[in-house]
Structure formats: C-alpha cells, structure tokens
Amino acid sequence: MEYIINNMNNNNDNVVNMNGTPNTAPKITLKETSEVTCDKCKKNIFAEGMFLRSVSPILTGQPKTSYIPVPLFYCVSCGAVNDEFVPMELRTNIIV
C-alpha cells in the first residue's frame, strides 16, 4: 500500500498545490515508516484530541470570545501527550 504525504488523492498525476505548482510529494510505503510509541507507557495506539485557545474580542473585532482548535494526539492507554505532538509555543501547557 502506498501513501502520499500531504495529499489525500492517491493519483499524483495532475495534482497541484494551492499555489498552482505541481504536487511532487513522495510516495511512501508503510515499510519505510517507523512506529511511534507513547513516551510514558510505550504503547502505540493514539487518539486525536485538541487544545482550545481563546482569543479576546479585542483582537478579533468580534462581539464575543473566539476559540481556535489546536489538534494533537494522545495515548489511549495512559492519556499522555508526546512532546513532539504539541506546538512548541504550547509545550508547557499540557495538563494530563
């Protein structure tokens, strides 16, 4: 089975990026990847969760607070989040 990085279309022909340039994403097989495990319990099953960040109405010009979802993965066994899954700016904000 082949996977195309950053492209949901398995046919790489005539696929262009948002800026109009041809998509030259490499085709990768699962044999060319490495397993990711939880840093805490060493299990390898993750689920997608998210941080919610609030944005002041003063910054957005909206009448109410806005929210920005920041997706990340967490271990389904112990709930831990590997540092590599968290944006650098938020790494000190993890509460498990």
Q: What is the pLDDT of residues 52-91, one digit of tens each?
A: 999 999 999 999 999 999 999 999 999 999 999 988 888 7
Q: Over pLDDT 70: what percentage of the chain?
A: 74
Alpha-carbon distance of 4 to 43, in angstroms, equals 26
pTM: 0.64
> Domain boundaries in the chain?
1-33, 35-96
The separation between CA 93 and the C-alpha centre of its own chain, rounded to angstroms, equals 17
CA angle 29, 33, 38 (to 5 degrees): 140
77 Cβ contact list (under 8 Å, min separation 6): 38, 41, 43, 45
Give the per-residue pLDDT at 92.
74
